[in-house]
Amino acid sequence: MKVGITKEIYSGECRVAATPETARRLIGKLGFEVLVESGAGDAASFHDESYREAGCTVCGEAVEIWTGADIVLKVRSPQDREIQQLRAGQTLICFLAPGQNEALLQKIAARKATALAIEAVPRISRAQKLDALSSMANIAGYRAVVEAAGLFGRFFTGQITAAGKVPPAKVLVIGAGVAGLAAIGTARGLGAIVRAFDVRPEVADQVKSMGAEFLMLEFDSDEQGGTSGGYAKTMSKEFIDAEMALFAAQAKEVDIIITTALIPGKPAPKLITHEMVRSMRPGSVIVDLAAEQGGNCEATIPDEVTKVEGVHIVGYRDLTSRLAHTSSQLYGTNLYHLLDEMGGAERFSVDMTDDVIRSATVVKDGQVTWPPPPVSVSAAPKEKVVESVAPSAVVEKKIGTFDIALMVIAAVLLVAVALTRDQGFITDFTVFLLACLIGWQVIWNVTASLHAPLMSVTNAISGIIIVGGMVQIGASNPVAAWLGGLAIFVATINIAGGFLITHRMLSLFRK
């Protein structure tokens, strides 16, 4: 079975659907024969010779790919001239934006082909390795900060030098999805003070864990901003008004704004108005990651960097393509896992009973299958189910012969200790019994999985036991001396075992 990799003809696109490394895995592990159009990876620094070394067949013309491959892998959605080369029964895998490109799906269906939209892979745990949308969003968030740093006229981190003091940059990230979190991490790594906002309050802990401040709306509502798929959704007018007031106040304070807000299947919401742009300090930067869907800023011009009253507004739609080498490697890995999920070369099939494959398949043998049925994901809020508690039967514990025997033995032992009339011995024996009781209760209530770390903690206690044993081993009473020696022996075993377990636990975290 043959997989074809074509050169992207979309203007400015530098990525390629398979790198030499991922192509080698397609050949060696999945059994595919890989055809690569000459020059397909040049813009991403992957040259034809490296594909040949990986075992690929390099073709001189794109038509050889379209006519010879059973599966065609691309990055961007196909242009009209590419669609005309699709064959009946051929499978196309790429970004298709099926929610906005119904006409494109109809054109593919007219060719009796099958198409999978890689961005339609559901966000469930099993499909994380196929999630190209998250892979690209991660790169876009990182690159957004890099673009902002190139236009910003100061350091990101604060500095105090002999020549003066430079305050740290203040960055606001709107939208704490994959791209937003990547932007937060990059900006924090450069030393900026980072604030973030998202309509989904459940992401607050993720934002705080990265060292950023999460902005909360003082809004009297139980309105939730997340969908069952983990995306944002359209909010009420009251919520939007409060949100816009927050952004207006922040625009006057921060130096850089990075917007990532998108709602699946709809134009990007306008969050930064012309008035907010004018209120920002000269030299500030806005990077609009939603430019491809119309932009979150009213002043954004797609594919351009504009300057409005001293504020730079970046509207690049090809941020991932500006990091083409890494983007291609991650995207190619996502496609490799998808083909592996579909059975490899020997058992390749478009299994419509598989939730992942069904969700990604938008055209099947000439039939449009978009939209797919909803998939239950972990992000979906669980409904509270009130279960009636059945009355439990009360079982009375009966005292058996063994219990009576233990009680008699304990009573006799206590009487014998009391008859010694040795106040010091009675005191020591009482402390011993209390220590046994408390220690037993502590260990009994610890989860079994924590027993190993607990042994490490008991080293200190064992050290105290050794000190007590050393004191008693020199006593004139031979019984006390023997007990002291026994205490030293047992405590030494515990200490050695504790250090051994600790060493093994720490080795698990070493590479």
**Residue 423 amino acid letter:** Q
- pLDDT given at position 392: 47
- pLDDT given at position 228: 47
SS3 sequence of 410-444: HHHHHHHHHHCCCHHHHHHHHHHHHHHHHHHHHHH
Strand (E) or helix (H) holding 171: strand 170-174
- pLDDT given at position 441: 67
Q: Which residues does 490 contact at the CB level (< 8 Å), separation at least 6?
A: 465
List helix spans (H) across 155-314. Answer: 178-189, 204-209, 237-251, 274-279
CA 293 to chain centre: 24
pTM above 0.75, yes or no: no
How far is residue 122's CA from residue 432's CA, in Å, rounded to a whole number? 61
According to DSSP, the residues that pair with 115 across neighbouring strands are: 92, 363
Catalytic residues, by residue number, are 123, 128, 131, 134, 231
Two structure tokens written together for 144:
């957004």
Instruction: Give the side-chain half-sphere CA count within 13 A for 116.
Output: 28
- pLDDT given at position 454: 60
For the chain, how far is it from start to end, CA to CA, in angstroms? 39
How far is residue 223's CA from residue 463's CA, in Å, rounded to a whole number? 57
Longest dimension (CA), the chain: 105
Two structure tokens written together for 413:
């032992």
Strand (E) or helix (H) holding 286: strand 285-288
Q: Which residues does 41 contact at the CB level (< 8 Å), separation at least 6?
A: 16, 19, 20, 47, 48, 50, 51, 328
- pLDDT given at position 200: 86
- pLDDT given at position 161: 81
At residue 12, what are phi and psi to the nearest 5 degrees? 85, -5
According to DSSP, the residues that pair with 164 across neighbouring strands are: 161
The CA dihedral of 182, 185, 191, 192, to the nearest 10 degrees, is 60
Parallel, antiparallel or unpaired: strands 170-174 and 305-308: unpaired
Share of the chain residues as helix, strand and coil, in percent rounded to the nearest 5? 45, 15, 40
- pLDDT given at position 380: 47
Looking up tokens 């816009």 gives 244
- pLDDT given at position 395: 46
Q: What is the DSSP letter of 84?
A: T
- pLDDT given at position 188: 96
| CA-only gyration radius of the chain, Å | 33
Give whole-number Cα distances, 243 to 68, 174, 192, 224, in Å: 53, 11, 23, 14
Residue count of the chain, please give it: 511
- pLDDT given at position 25: 97
- pLDDT given at position 508: 67
Two structure tokens written together for 505:
């636990």
Q: Go through the domains of the chain in sequence order and give each one's CATH number.
A: 2-129+323-368 (3.40.50.720), 135-322 (3.40.50.720), 401-508 (no CATH)
- pLDDT given at position 419: 84
What string of pLDDT tens digits covers the 511 residues of the chain?
999 999 999 998 999 999 999 999 999 999 999 999 999 999 999 999 999 999 999 999 999 999 999 999 999 999 999 999 999 999 999 999 998 899 999 999 999 999 999 999 998 888 999 999 999 999 999 999 999 999 999 999 988 888 888 999 999 999 999 999 999 999 999 999 999 999 888 899 999 999 999 998 875 555 555 554 445 556 678 888 899 999 999 999 999 999 999 877 678 999 999 999 999 999 999 999 999 889 999 999 999 999 999 999 999 999 999 999 999 999 999 999 999 999 999 999 999 999 999 999 999 999 999 999 988 654 445 555 555 555 544 445 566 787 788 788 888 888 888 888 788 788 878 887 777 777 666 666 666 555 555 665 566 566 667 777 787 777 778 888 888 888 888 888 877 777 777 777 767 666 5
